[in-house]
Amino acid sequence: MSFAATLALDADDAQFRALARRCLANGIPPAEVSFTAADQSSLFAPLPEGGADHPLLIPRSFAELMQDAICNSAIDRFALLYDVLWRIVRGERQLAENHADRYVARLHAYAHNVRRDIHKMHAFLRFREQKGDGASLFTAWFEPQHFILRRAIPFFVERFSQMNWLIATPIGTANWDQRQVEYGPPMHKPAATTDAVLDDLWLTYYKTTFNPARLRKKAMLAEMPKHYWRNMPETDLVPAMIAGARKRVEDMETQAPLPPPRFAARLAERPPAASEIAPTAMASLKADIAVCQRCPLHCGATQAVAGEGPTDARIMLVGEQPGDQEDLQGRPFVGPAGQLLDKALGQAGLARSTLYVTNAVKHFKYEPRGKRRIHQKPNAGEIQKCKWWLDREIAIVRPRLVVALGATAAQALSGHAVSVTKERGPITFGEMPGFVTVHPSYLLRIPDAQKKTEEYTRFVSDLRNSGQVMQQE
């Protein structure tokens, strides 16, 4: 005998759990349950009454999976969840973690798509101000692919708590009056969702921040699927900007360097610190690095970070690029990796005050994620552009040994890709004696404590050996 289990299309995990308790209390297997919408008729018998208070203890892994997967618009999600739940309460407690099970794998795919849709709503929703007799009301229209409205709204409450706003979607509405959220019925798309003034400002900003030299078409389309384009005014510009990207890059490469901004000239006019006055060549080089615009990395960085140390240092350490703290302070190796380097140098018998420390790339390359700036590895073109400055630092300092900290530094010094694991140890960069070891940030990323200790000991040994190599030169 089959039974009809009635659930709303946008039912949440609490509503599903209550219905599942009734089914389990009456011993109804998955094959005998047909999940139908509230407004649909069914030829199957209604569920027996009672059982809503049936105890139901489920693993956290299934509860978390259910919370996401149930928001998916797939019509079989309720049936899949009940099938997995049925087997869990009969002994397969870790079933939700078994991705080899085809039902579990499909539910995890549903959950992933829901989380992605929530992320897209956070990223692509556009508020527009509607002025009335009282306070302004900001309205937005969005077309999600899944039933995510209640899951996505807390983000907007936290981010825009001081505004009155209304978010309308085909699956429901959410209204915030700076005190509470009220949910309402679905809406049709408004006839006009544009604002001539604000949209024009936004499009101008979008065009000026588009960087053709960093265009990755597949990555852009993956991050901004065309499903969302019809409600995003800037997408009308995308095809033309993609088509003209190659020409713009060619024009950028042939045009003369732009004059430095006025603030850069004022910075260059400041009297140098006492440590930079002699020799004049190094002071001049650092002033030139400060206003560098040889590649697009200068656009997002706070400042260029030149090397520091005595200009007659016998050993030069070359890292990859400035990190977050280096970018803010304007000095190399002052963040967590720099602190670890200082510790290792001390244990290796090398004083940092006697070394010249710099980076292969002088600007911080990063990806913004909320309030954080996540490090991105420089590409070959950026390394090559910055080699101009590294070569001049080497020419001024004339070290007896150059130590490459990591693959990027080794690539900048050698002119080709270098495998640190294969080339670790003494090496020759052209005619210049060198040494290759890991970057200290590599040690910070090792999760295993024992492995981290072993690699740190090896790093200290590398630094000590590099000092011995220099003495032999």
Residue-level pLDDT at 275: 43
- Please state whether the predicted TM-score (pTM) of the whole model is above 0.85: no
Distance CA 467, CA 206 (A): 51
Sequence-distant (6+) residues with CB within 8 A of 433 are 400, 401, 402, 426, 469, 470, 473
> How is domain 262-472 classified at the CATH fold level?
Uracil-DNA Glycosylase, subunit E (3.40.470)
Distance CA 473, CA 470 (A): 5
Domain with CATH 3.40.470.10 in the chain: 262-472
pLDDT, tens only, 236-259: 777 887 888 778 777 777 777 667
Q: Please measure the distance between the N-terminal and C-terminal CA atoms of the chain and give it in whole angstroms.
A: 89
Sequence-distant (6+) residues with CB within 8 A of 337 are 319, 323, 439, 440, 441, 444
Sheet holding 33-36, edge to edge: 33-36, 3-6, 45-46
Average pLDDT, the chain: 86
Distance CA 154, CA 142 (A): 16
**Residue 435 pLDDT > 90:** yes
CA atoms within 13 A on the CB side of 40: 13
Cβ-contact 469, 433 below 8 angstroms: yes
- List beta partners, residue 33: 3
Sheet holding 172-176, edge to edge: 128-130, 137-141, 164-169, 172-176, 181-184
| Coil/strand/helix, residue 303 | coil
Distance CA 118, CA 115 (A): 5
Residue-level pLDDT at 226: 73
Tokens 């490469």 sit on residue: 253
Q: What are phi and psi of 195, to 5 degrees?
A: -135, 110
pLDDT, tens only, 290-323: 999 888 898 889 999 999 999 999 999 999 999 9
Tokens 């981010």 sit on residue: 159
| Mean pLDDT of all residues in 446-468 | 92
Peptide bond into 279 cis (omega under 30): yes
Structure tokens at 81: 């969840």
Residue-level pLDDT at 52: 63
pLDDT, tens only, 253-280: 777 766 766 666 666 666 554 444 444 6
* Strand-strand pairing, 366-369 and 372-375: antiparallel
**Residue 357 pLDDT > 90:** yes
Quick one: pLDDT band at residue 205, thresholds 50, 70, 90? Answer: low
Residue-level pLDDT at 228: 73
Cβ-contact 439, 461 below 8 angstroms: no
* Strand-strand pairing, 45-46 and 425-429: unpaired
